[in-house]
Amino acid sequence: MANVDTKRLIMDAAQPMVQANGYNALSFRDVASAIGIKSASIHYHFPTKGDLGAALARRYTATGKAYLATLRDASADVPGLVASFIGIFRAALANDNRMCLIGIMAAEQADLPDPVRAEVAIFTDVCVGWLAEILSAGGAGDDPAVRRRAFAIFGAIQGAQLVARGRNDMRVFDQMIVTYRESGLIP
């Protein structure tokens, strides 16, 4: 069990660091000292930095997917569901101006090992798929027009997070979301 616990300790320490500073800036030595082990020990649990990055992205996607499922099962109100979706990204900003783990990784795309890049793509698929399902209001969500709209909403939210973070100002995020809604992009 010590194995599993240490693995989790490493991931729990590393995730907020990536959301704050990015994958490139993540330091094994920083993670190790945060939980009281040596950096060489991390390699026992995650052979390479890419393995750790992929594990973080995978867990992040799994957690998000499960949360989105509970949201969808708890309500059929489309604007409310989309607002809850946006709330996930807002919460990251509220947490010390952090970004969605996947959003910041997407910006570092060219630096990512292939397995991490693959996890980033899966997260986008999960989000866009969920939004498309919501927007089709009970339908399968595979209508190309609905999928295109889901993609646009997802991108606009990511952009709002990126720009607001650059300003370190959540009001920028909130105002952009309001404007998206007024324009009709977001229901």
Partner DNA sequence: ACCTGAACACCGTTCAAGT
Where on the chain is the footprint of DNA (CB under 7 A)? Answer: 1-4, 6, 26-30, 32, 37-41, 43-45, 47-50
39/168 with CB nearer its own copies? 168
As measured in angstroms, the least distance from the Cβ of 81 to its own copies is 18
28/60 with CB nearer DNA? 28
CA-derived radius of gyration, the chain: 18
HSE (side-chain half, CA atoms, 13 Å) at 48: 8
Would you say 185 and 156 are in contact if contact means Cβ atoms under 8 Å apart? Answer: yes
Candidate ranges 39-47, 59-67, 78-86, 105-113; the one touching its own copies (CB under 8 A): 105-113
Which residues does 82 contact at the CB level (< 8 Å), separation at least 6? 131, 134, 153, 186, 187
Q: Which residues within the stretch 153-182 sit at the binding site for its own copies (CB under 8 A)?
A: 154-168, 172, 175-176, 178-180
As measured in angstroms, the least distance from the Cβ of 1 to its own copies is 34
Both structure tokens of 142 = 């595979």
Start-end of H helices in 36-143:
39-45, 49-74, 78-94, 101-107, 114-135
As measured in angstroms, the least distance from the Cβ of 46 to its own copies is 20
* Separation CA 52–CA 28 (nearest Å): 10
Number of H helices, E strands in the chain: 9, 0
Q: Which residues within the stretch 6-25 sit at the binding site for its own copies (CB under 8 A)?
A: 20-22, 24-25
Contacting residues toward its own copies, per CB under 8 A: 20-22, 24-25, 97, 99, 103-104, 106-111, 120-121, 124, 148-149, 151-152, 154-168, 172, 175-176, 178-180, 183-185
